[in-house]
């Protein structure tokens, strides 16, 4: 037995000596490179052909919780305990094929047994002349915050093509079935790019006429004469070039929905004709002598404050009252920033399908930059940013360099992670409070519903500074 222990001890000593020899012989890292590796936030380690770790940077220590003295010389799967180690090791595939792998999603188990989501990239080690050396390198990034955001996103809700997780949008979503079933005229107010047409389509799809046409007209894009013929149609001979009858949008939308976008741009003369249609449910095509009935539901939208335009005489008060039977105000994206990660993922998936790509998403730095932006163009602006990035990014994930110039510019003030954390905290707090309400403030039942331990719930309540009701109904702030 003693002889066996001595053999094992000597074998271990020889293995460590061989590792040191390989480090000196094969993998020489310059002092400047070592300084860079120590300063970056991504974990980096290298291995030799026997899968023994030959270097382990500071970030790798922090993410895994394992000191480099313990990591170097050990088999990589014993240290880097990743979900892919046993089945589909990214580094093994790279060392077998010579091809790098970029941003593959995985998770590791750190020294304290916690599951850490990461993205992994691998490559062959090369010397200063570009020749492949006997080993490989793997970099990995901690995606814990992104994973936390993803968990928030999974609690989202959707109506038609509208998706959100914000409290303000949820209030709108809650009333949409009632609005859709009512058949009443609807006014949607919201800034450019907030999704007014998507909301109108969602209401149409919840109405009794959902199988009938949804006809959209942008009132601000057409001059009066053309807009009038588009809305009401015309008879043959009504004007030069009118060689045959043409039905208008009111007629085409029979039984369905007519969406009048940017109604605030309509002239006073045309406002009078629109008022009559809404009152009488009839209209006359240009050049016609008989009235045509319409039962199309009217949904109007504007990015203006119509009430203010009524006060200054730019919009007819009687028409305003006719279209303002039910009103929905869409909040700007800057007021619901918790939706930015959700919408970003939605657009990445959409453009992957449209362009036949398989981008994995956006980097934490990109999400950070997006969360700090005020989005004057709202959701449409965000969509355009992601589409721009898809033009420049062919694989992996979207990085800062793929964003439009103003976003990617190095002199742009860096966003602070507090924006992201604030959005996450806001959603977490709302989720906890809603669950407590459903469970009549029973902490144990709330923890079970949320899928967390009761002690974790109390820590969350304390860290978020939530005020909870006492048993007698009075409110108190959670304490130790």
What superfamily would CATH give domain 167-330? Answer: P-loop containing nucleotide triphosphate hydrolases (3.40.50.300)
Secondary-structure breakdown of the chain: helix, strand, coil percentages, each rounded to the nearest 5: 50, 20, 35
Residue with structure tokens 């009701």? 469
Q: Which tokens go with 170?
A: 């949820």
Looking at per-residue pLDDT, the higher value among 474 and 437 belongs to 437
pLDDT given at position 470: 56
Lowest mean pLDDT among 7-16, 261-270, 388-397: 7-16
pLDDT given at position 180: 92
Q: How far is CA 423 from CA 31, 39, 149, in A?
A: 41, 28, 9
Is the per-residue pLDDT at 285 higher than 50? yes
pLDDT given at position 25: 41
- Compute the distance between CA of residue 2 and CA of residue 8 in angstroms, rounded to an integer: 10
pLDDT given at position 289: 76
Contacts 24+ apart (CB under 8 A), 129-135: 132/98, 133/26, 133/27, 134/22, 134/26, 134/48, 134/49, 135/22, 135/26, 135/27, 135/46, 135/47, 135/48, 135/49, 135/54
Q: What is the DSSP letter of 82?
A: B
pLDDT bracket for residue 148 (50, 70, 90): low
**Mean pLDDT computed over every residue of the chain:** 80
- Please name the helix (run of DSSP H) or strand (run of DSSP E) that holds residue 473, with its range, or none: none
**Fold of the domain built from segment(s) 2-142:** Beta-Lactamase (3.30.450)
Is the per-residue pLDDT at 20 higher than 60? no
Alpha helix segments (H runs only) across 338-468: 340-355, 364-372, 378-392, 405-408, 417-438, 443-450, 454-464
Spatial neighbors of 151 by CB under 8 A, at least 6 apart, are none
Looking at per-residue pLDDT, the higher value among 441 and 316 belongs to 316
pLDDT bracket for residue 376 (50, 70, 90): very high
Q: Which tokens go with 77?
A: 């799967």
Looking at per-residue pLDDT, the higher value among 171 and 422 belongs to 171
Is the per-residue pLDDT at 14 higher than 50? no
pLDDT given at position 33: 61
Lowest mean pLDDT among 114-128, 416-430, 453-467: 416-430
Instruction: Give the pLDDT confidence of 241-254 residue by residue, as tens digits.
Output: 776 888 889 999 99
Is the per-residue pLDDT at 152 higher than 70? no
- Compute the distance between CA of residue 72 and CA of residue 45 in angstroms, rounded to an integer: 9
Instruction: Give the pLDDT confidence of 201-238 residue by residue, as tens digits.
Output: 999 999 988 999 999 999 988 888 889 888 988 887 76
Is the per-residue pLDDT at 22 higher than 50? no
Alpha helix segments (H runs only) across 65-105: 68-71, 76-79, 90-97
Whether residue 112 contacts residue 333, with contact meaning beta carbons closer than 8 Å, is answered with no
Share of the chain above pLDDT 90, in %: 27
Give mean pLDDT, residues 181-186.
Answer: 92
pLDDT bracket for residue 32 (50, 70, 90): low
β-pairing, 214-218 with 257-261?
parallel
pLDDT given at position 164: 84
Give mean pLDDT, residues 356-383.
Answer: 88
pLDDT given at position 421: 55
Which of 123-137, 309-323, 426-440 holds the top average pLDDT? 309-323
Q: What is the DSSP letter of 466?
A: -
Q: Kindly list the domain boundaries of the chain, sorted by start residue.
A: 2-142, 167-330
- Compute the distance between CA of residue 208 and CA of residue 457 in angstroms, rounded to an integer: 44
Share of the chain above pLDDT 70, in %: 78
């Amino acid at each position: 037995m003693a002889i066996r222990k001595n053999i094992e001890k000597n074998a271990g000593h020889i293995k460590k000596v061989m590792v040191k020899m390989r480090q000196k012989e094969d993998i020489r890292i310059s002092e400047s490179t070592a300084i860079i590796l120590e300063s970056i936030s991504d974990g980096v380690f290298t291995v030799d052909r026997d899968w023994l770790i030959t270097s382990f940077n500071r970030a790798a220590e922090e993410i895994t919780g394992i000191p480099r003295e313990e990591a170097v010389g050990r088999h990589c799967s014993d240290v880097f305990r990743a979900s892919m180690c046993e089945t589909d090791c990214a580094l093994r595939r790279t060392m077998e094929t010579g091809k790098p792998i970029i941003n593959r999603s995985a998770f590791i188990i750190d020294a304290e047994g916690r599951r850490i989501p990461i993205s992994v990239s691998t490559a062959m080690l090369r010397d200063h002349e570009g020749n492949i050396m006997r080993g490989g390198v793997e970099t990995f990034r901690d995606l814990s915050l992104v994973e936390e955001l993803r968990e928030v996103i999974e609690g989202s809700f959707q109506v038609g093509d509208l998706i959100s997780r914000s409290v303000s949008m949820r209030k709108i979503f809650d009333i949409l079935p009632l609005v859709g079933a009512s058949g009443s005229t609807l006014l949607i107010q919201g800034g450019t790019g907030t999704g007014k047409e998507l909301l109108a389509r969602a209401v149409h799809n919840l109405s009794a006429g959902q199988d009938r046409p949804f006809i959209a007209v942008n009132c601000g894009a057409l001059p009066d004469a053309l807009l009038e013929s588009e809305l009401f149609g015309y008879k043959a001979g009504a004007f030069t070039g009118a060689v045959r009858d043409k039905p208008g949008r009111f007629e085409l939308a029979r039984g369905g929905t007519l969406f009048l976008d940017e109604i605030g741009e309509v002239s006073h003369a045309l406002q009078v004709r629109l008022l009559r249609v809404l009152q009488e449910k009839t209209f006359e095509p240009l050049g016609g002598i008989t009235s045509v009935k319409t039962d199309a539901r009217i949904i109007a939208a504007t990015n203006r404050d119509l009430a203010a335009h009524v006060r200054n005489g730019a919009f007819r008060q009687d028409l305003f009252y006719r279209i303002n039977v039910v009103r929905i105000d869409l909040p700007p994206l800057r007021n619901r920033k918790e939706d930015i990660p959700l919408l970003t993922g939605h657009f990445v998936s959409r453009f992957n399908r449209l362009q036949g790509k398989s981008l994995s998403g956006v980097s934490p730095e990109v999400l950070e930059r997006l969360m700090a932006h005020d989005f004057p163009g709202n959701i449409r602006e965000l969509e355009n940013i992601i589409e721009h990035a898809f033009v420049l990014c062919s694989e992996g994930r979207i990085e800062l360099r793929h964003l439009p110039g103003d976003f990617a510019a190095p002199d742009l003030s860096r966003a602070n992670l507090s924006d992201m954390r604030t959005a996450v905290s806001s959603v977490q707090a709302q989720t906890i409070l809603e669950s407590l309400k459903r469970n009549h403030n029973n902490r144990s039942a709330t923890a079970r519903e949320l899928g967390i331990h009761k002690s974790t719930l109390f820590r969350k309540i304390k860290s978020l500074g939530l005020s909870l009701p006492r048993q007698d109904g009075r409110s108190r702030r959670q304490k130790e």
